[in-house]
Structure 1
Amino acid sequence: MRKILIKIRERIRMAGGVKQISIDAVLPIVLLPLMFSVAAINFYFMITICIVMPLFLGYAQWLRKSFAPRTKFFFMWSLWSGIYLWILFEMTVPLMELLPEENFIFITTMFAAAFCFYKTRQKAADNYVAPKTDDIDSIRDTDQTRLLMDVEEVDENDDSKENSETDSDPCDFMMSKTNNVCPKCRRYIPPRAFHCRICQQCIAKRDHHSIWLDCCIGQSNHKFFLAGCFLAMFALLFGANLSMTSICHPFFVFRIFSISVLLPDDCSDVFDQYDIALCFVGSIYATVMAICCLIILVQQCYLILKGVTASEWSRGDINRNGCVMNLKTFLCCAR
């Protein structure tokens, strides 16, 4: 099977045959609609897919940590999840007496979230700490040089045992003793900069490496990342609510700006028609994705008010400033 997959990967090429298409980048394109289609058969298939999908993603995460730290699988999974949900929504829900204003709000919010995530990836390279010409030559102290070599050996032995992108490297606790020199890059780095073993770069004010966007979140793209998560959460919840209230029996909650806010009440007959069931499965999936975005936002807001990044929090760093000052520092881009 491994030989077959390698052969397929070698044969599948992009236009001109210049660049190969990796299997991990193609799998989400096939697996997502397949899982949606199976889950829409009946209620029991949907429960089975709801159990299998997180187990499969967890196994993919374990494979990534063990064999391929840099992979496009999770980025393609999140990208095609948004594309499939948008296609499913536009092909099914607007046909069920959806107001044009509601559809406009959903489309605008979803494209705004996509733009923020695009800027997050685009500005990720701006977080890289530029090397200096005297990074290595300026390290004259033999004790410091010996310390760097010893810590590097420890780090090489422990690289395979790291459990997450925000986990501290074994040498990071030595940063203050080596005049802010990165033991891996052998270069001087600014305060609050940390080395990412996936990007193989020192990241300014590094928060974490997002596998879903395949880039590091740091000083230059942190705000775009938070804005994208918030807009994506709103778009997913709004779209899921519109879908559920269209295919289920809704009940009235309140009215705002001449728009009635509804919530689903009875969804017992959604599996009687396949396209309705497919829309229902997409709504459940969108709700789960929105909950994940909400968890990320809550965690990020807590860290911002504490005045630390996720990398600093995992290393036990503490910021003594108050919540208001920390929030002001983050919004004003102060280092």
Structure 2
Amino acid sequence: MVIKKSQRDFDKIGRQSTLEMVNTTLTIQDILPYGSTKSNHKKVDMDAVLPFIILPLLLVLSTTSKLVTIIVMIFIGMGALYVQSRPRQKNRSPFFYSWTLSSGIYMFLIFELGILRLLEITQLENFVFLLLLTSTCYFFYKMKAVADFELATGTSKGKEYSPVLTSDSYYCQICQIEVNERFFHSIWWDCCVLRPNYIYFVAGQVFAFATLLYGTNLGLTTVCQPFILYGTILMPEDCNDVYYEFDLALCFVSCIYGLGYLLITALVLLRQVLIYIPKYSEPQWRKIINVLTV
């Protein structure tokens, strides 16, 4: 009898241990969603960090030869065109905004630490460059600040979702909110461009165009053999020797990358002139016409 009682106690203890193991397993499964959420946060962080790693690697790779420079720049351009052609709801990553920031930061550092070190750019030229760059940063900062304010508490904030949109509203698939007076969403600046911040967007693009044009011209005429175009205006002529030194090659490919950005900025400004500036100025023209016809 004592043996049977001991056997029953042993079986009871075994069943309790099994139940504890099951409970422990369930507890681990309950924790798993939290772990997957953490991995998603890490993925988002990596999307924001990757451009700061990929871009310098591509620029360094471009310094090997002229052929590699052409291939890398074509690869970057095709990647940008692919992103622009994708459905908007798939462009919800901070990768594109981080790419814009990393491009500006690296081109600025190469200009200030590499091109200026060659001592062929005057202090006045550098001051003009910094003034243009500061104006560019200011207008793009105002563009994002006004967009954040308007979508949070301003008149441009709409409903999170509405099956029926009004005539002046648009459902942004990236922001996932109904936006009033929306022109378009810029994935490269990670914000909606609305009527209240549109003037800052245009001003930022204009100053960005001037900054890139002036900076790339200074850089190319420094690392290459220049010629006088008119008066004191120089243009690059012979750049065959830049690949013999890594520093010169890095400055050169950075300027070529800046020329690519300059072309994109010119296309953006052309689009604004043809499509969005008439749309932006239409209410003002209507008011003027109404006043004149009264």
Q: With the length of structure 1 as denominator, give the TM-score of the two structures.
A: 0.66
Amino acid of the structure 1 residue aligned with 2:256 = I
1:71 maps to amino acid: S
Instruction: Find 1:84's aligned residue among 98, 106, 128.
Output: 106
Q: 1:32 maps to which residue?
A: 55
Q: Which residue of 1 aligns with 2:9?
A: none
Deviation at 1:104, TM superposition (A): 0.7
Pick from 264, 269, 273 the counterpart of residue 301 of structure 1. 273
> CA 1:198–1:328 in 2, change beyond 3 Å: closer, same or farther?
farther
Quote the residue 1:325 is aligned against.
285
Give the RMSD, CA atoms, in angstroms: 3.3
Counterpart pick for 2:141 among 118, 127, 143? 118
| Inter-partner Cα distance in structure 1 for 2:165 and 2:64 | 58
CA displacement at 1:95 relative to structure 2: 2.3
Residues 267 and 213 of structure 1: CA distance in aligned 2, closer, same or farther (over 3 Å): same
Quote how far apart the aligned CAs of 1:92 are. 1.5
Residue 31 of structure 1 deviates from its aligned partner by 0.3
In structure 2, the CA distance between the partners of 1:103 and 1:25, relative to structure 1 (3 Å rule), is same
The verdict on how the C-alpha distance between 1:71 and 1:327 changes in structure 2, with shifts beyond 3 A counting, is farther
Offset at residue 272 of structure 1 (A): 1.3
Which of residues 183, 197, 207 in structure 2 aligns to 1:207? 183
SS at match of 2:182: coil
Partner in structure 2 of residue 195 of structure 1? 171
Aligned to 1:218: 194
In structure 1, the residue corresponding to 2:188 is in which secondary structure? Answer: coil
- Equivalent of residue 286 in structure 1, options 258, 273, 288: 258
Task: Choose which of 47, 53, 71 in structure 1 pairs with 2:70.
Answer: 47
CA offsets, 1:142-186, max 9 Å, x none?
xxxxxxxxxxxxxxxxxxxxxxxxxxxxxxxxxxxxxxx989425
Contact 2:161–2:178 under 8 Å retained in 1: no
After TM superposition, what 4+ stretches of structure 1 lie above 6 angstroms from structure 2?
Answer: 129-132, 326-329
CA contact (8 A) 1:88 1:279 kept: yes
Name the aligned partner's letter for residue 30 of structure 1: I
Corresponding residue for residue 235 of structure 2: 263
Q: Could you list the runs of 5+ residues in structure 2 that have no partner in the other structure?
A: 1-34, 290-294
Counterpart residue identity of residue 102, structure 1: E
The answer on whether the counterparts of 1:250 and 1:265 sit within 8 Å (CA) in structure 2 is: yes
Q: What is the alpha-carbon distance in structure 2 between the residues aligned to residue 299 and residue 35 of structure 1?
A: 29
Contact 2:96 2:187 in 1 (8 A): yes
1:177-216, CA deviations, whole angstroms, 9 ceiling, x for partnerless residues? xxxx989425775x42222111122222211000000110
| Match among 46, 50, 67 for residue 23 of structure 1 | 46
Give me the whole-angstrom Cα distance separating, in 2, the residues matched to 1:193 and 1:209.
13
Where in structure 2 are the equivalents of 1:84-233 lying within 5 Å?
A: 84-96=106-118, 97-128=120-151, 184-185=161-162, 189=166, 191-233=167-209
Contact 1:129/1:202 (<8 A) preserved: no
Local SS of the residue matching 1:195: strand
Larger Rg: 2
SS in 2 for 1:98: coil
Aligned partners of 1:327 and 1:302: how far apart in 2?
21
Question: 1:238 & 1:131 partners in 2: Cα distance?
Answer: 37
- What is the Cα deviation at residue 54 of structure 1? 2.5
Change (3 A) 1:69 1:307: closer
Q: Going by fraction, where is helix more abundant, 1 or 2?
A: 2
- Kept in 2, the 8 Å contact 1:116–1:228? The answer is yes
SS in 2 for 1:220: helix
- Over 3 Å counting, the alpha-carbon distance change for 1:326 and 1:37 in structure 2 is farther
SS in 1 for 2:162: coil
